[in-house]
Amino acid sequence: MEINLVSDTVTKPTPEMLQYMFQAKVGDDVYKQDPTVNELEAKVANIFGMESALFFPSGTMANQTAIKLLTQPGEQLIADKWAHVYNYEGGGVSFNSGVSCNLLDGNRGMITAEQVASAINPPEFYHSPLTSLVCVENTTNKGGGACYDIEELKKIKAVCDANNLKFHLDGARIWNALVVKRDNPRIYGQLFDTISVCLSKGLGAPIGSVLISDKATINRAFRVRKILGGGMRQAGYLAAAGIYALNNHVGRLEDDHRRAKELGALLQRLNWVDKVEPIETNILIFSVRPRLDENLVIEKLKQKNIAISSMGQGKLRIVTHLDYKEVMHSYVLEALGKMVF
């Protein structure tokens, strides 16, 4: 039995999801003739109370499309220094959009309205790039699954409105945040110009993200997706997995969050662990004690068929997910509790 806790992207479709996928009605989505893709897009748009949506093969492509639509070359976006759009999307901000990033030193990947206001370049000062977009991530990947408070997002939105800035949400793990915060997703639809949501992380679909916005913006997104090579044909089989996941896998995210917190509680009691960062959702980041090589921890766990990942500088990451069952959880808790260095 191999237990992979490297990421929540490692999940495989459940038998029920596969059966739902096999039964999907499909067409050619490049011509917008795939009924299941159309159904998924309408469903996600409705969840967030927005006008329209577009299915993408990846969250990176959805984010990069949003940035392309909301900026012009030579402009600048504001984001946290740990933002996915800056750190983990292959430099696409500069490559695709010709945009630079003003990176802020936030708290666990989250920035404040006050920080945003201070980071805006004076629009009349032509020596600096024109600030045109704010990007936030919820939950924060590198920040350990931290969730924004909706009131802070409202304050950032007010700053954006006052300074003629667009507002994008990288909602790769927004479902986890919604479960924890009990927020109404339609409030997010009112705050953001564009939202990208992922179906292939905690929800367990094999592939896919959805970009949501108003109809005019999504019509433009259709063209950008084509340019980036994101047009898919009988994509309804993949969209069906997303529909099934939204109908069946959102509530169970609470299990992932509980298990992550139980692992964190155990790690805090172990003498080879230096610090466990706050745990809100399904991402657990912890540091080993000074002078202990984190790779030794990875290797010991590997010998027990448990895989976790290193973040460097003594930090390790565990991510719980759909395929991490209770029997596995018991085994991992026991294995961690017995480890000595």
Task: Please compute the mean of the pLDDT values over residues 230-234 and round it to a whole number.
Answer: 97
State the chain's mean pLDDT as an integer: 97
Whether 81 has a pLDDT exceeding 90, the answer reads yes
Residue 241 confidence (pLDDT)? 98
For residue 240, pLDDT over 90 is answered with yes
Residue with tokens 């290797």: 299
Q: Residue 143 pLDDT more than 90?
A: yes
State mean pLDDT over 125-138: 98
CB-based contacts of 255, cutoff 8 Å, min separation 6: none
Mean pLDDT of 155-170: 98
Tokens representing residue 322 in the block:
């759909």
H or E stretch at 332: helix 326-338
**Interval 174-202: pLDDT, tens:** 999 999 999 999 999 999 999 999 999 99
State the pLDDT confidence band at 113, using cuts at 50, 70 and 90: very high
What residues contact 42, with CB distance under 8 A and at least 6 apart? 53
CATH architecture for residues 252-338 = Alpha-Beta Complex (3.90)
pLDDT in tens, 246-297: 999 999 999 999 999 999 999 999 999 999 999 999 999 999 999 999 999 9
CA-wise closest residue to 198 among 190, 209, 187, 188: 209
Ranges of CATH 3.40.640.10 domains, the chain: 15-248
- Are 104 and 81 in contact by the 8 Å Cβ rule? The answer is yes
pLDDT of residue 1: 80
Q: 0.85 exceeded by the pTM?
A: yes
- Least Cα distance to 199 among 158, 244, 155, 168 occurs for 244
Predicted pLDDT of residue 209: 98
CATH topology of domain 15-248: Aspartate Aminotransferase; domain 2 (3.40.640)
In this prediction, what percent of the chain has a pLDDT beyond 70?
A: 100
Cβ neighbors of 294 (< 8 A, separation 6 or more) are 288, 310, 314, 315, 316
Q: How far is CA 78 from the centre of its chain?
A: 18
Helical segments of the chain, H only: 15-22, 35-47, 59-70, 84-87, 92-97, 113-119, 150-162, 174-181, 185-191, 215-227, 236-248, 253-267, 294-303, 326-338
Q: Which residues pair with 166 in a beta bridge?
A: 133
Locate 65 and state its tokens: 């499309």
CB 322, CB 202: distance < 8 Å? yes
CA of residue 115 relative to chain centroid, distance: 22
Task: For residues 39-57, give the mean pLDDT.
Answer: 98
Tokens encoding 136: 């936030």
Map residue 67 onto helix, strand or coil.
helix
What distance in Å separates the CA atoms of residue 273 and residue 331, rounded to the nearest whole number?
19
Percentage of residues in the chain with pLDDT exceeding 90?
99
User: Coil, strand, or helix at residue 238?
Assistant: helix
Tell me the mean pLDDT in the region 7-13.
Answer: 97
Distances (CA, A) of 219 to 42, 96, 134, 298: 14, 18, 22, 46
Q: What is the DSSP letter of 146?
A: B
Phi/psi for 296 (5° steps) reads -65, -40
Position 36 scores a pLDDT of 98
Positions of CATH 3.90.1150.10 in the chain = 252-338
